[in-house]
Amino acid sequence: MRVETQGPEAKAERMTKPIRDTQGPRHVAIIMDGNGRWATQRGRPRLFGHHAGAKRVREVVDACPDFGVKYVTIFAFSTENWKRTQVEVAGLMSLFRRYITSEARALRKENVRVRFIGDRVRLDDKLINLMDELELMTADCTGVNLTIALNYGGRDEVARATRRLAQDVADGRLRPEDVNEETLPKYLDTYVLPDPDLVIRTSGEARISNFLLWQSAYAEYEFVDTLWPDFTAEEFGKLLAAYGARDRRFGAVKA
């Protein structure tokens, strides 16, 4: 993957679709679930569903500026997903490599800044290089912030953060009395992102499966029956509109 990232042509090539100012959520996190069932319903292997699911991501990301969504975070592979068959895991890893390679140019053109969260240690070098390249290539994009959670688990993230925090305390860079709700999240993978306002899960499961545990403490949730490969921008828009009607109190009582 070689794409020119510097220079005036690179800038001119980029679309600058403004992000609308709406009453909707600023940060939406999505648990893209149901690919396997979608494929099984069609008598096809699970990977067929993963490929169909990957195609849906573009539609949702493209819709974000119109709906006023500045950050979208998608759950692509969890720390628990290694428990699946070797065929499915290898197929997913190959899909991620292909996805990054084929989508990179379009993402940059649409001014999408891509980041990855999760533990990279278990991923193969080729995939890590592609992830690094895509992050670098879109580092100066100013539109939608797309974060892809890959080998991500909320508990794993908190454990890794705590390990680094403990090291800072041991090395005298942080005092134990300074560990609080403001300093701890600086050690999380999401340290540059605001907390999600809305978490959407497709496929009818009403659980969060270890996604953004710390960050979603006060998020609103939408669980929809649609399987991820059938999820459309239209349905996304309806969920965002419904969010506008919610009363977020954060523990307080409105006057």
Looking at residue 207, the DSSP 8-state letter turns out to be -
Residue pair 237/67 in contact (Cβ under 8 Å)? The answer is yes
Spatial distance between the Cα atoms of 213 and 80, rounded to a whole number of angstroms: 15
Is 178 among the residues known to form the active site? no
199 strand-pairing partners? 29, 221
SS3 category, 75: strand
Q: From the CB of 193, what's the least distance to ligand IPE, in Å?
A: 18
Does residue 37 touch ligand IPE according to CB under 6 A? yes
Spatial distance between the Cα atoms of 150 and 133, rounded to a whole number of angstroms: 15
Which residue among the candidates 21, 62, 66, 81 is catalytic per the annotation? 81
Does residue 75 touch ligand IPE according to CB under 6 A? yes
Pull the structure tokens for residue 186: 């600086």
Q: From the CB of 181, what's the least distance to ligand IPE, in Å?
A: 26
Q: From the CB of 186, what's the least distance to Mg ion, in Å?
A: 31
Choice between 93 and 233, CB closer to ligand IPE: 93
Choice between 67 and 96, CB closer to ligand IPE: 96
Residue pair 26/131 in contact (Cβ under 8 Å)? The answer is no
* Stretch of residues binding ligand IPE (CB under 6 A), selected from 116-124, 169-177, 180-188, 202-210: 202-210
Residues that bind Mg ion (CB under 5 A): 33
Q: Alpha helix locations (H) across 20-121?
A: 35-41, 46-67, 86-109
Is 210 among the residues known to form the active site? no
Choice between 32 and 219, CB closer to ligand IPE: 32
Active centre residues (catalytic): 33, 81
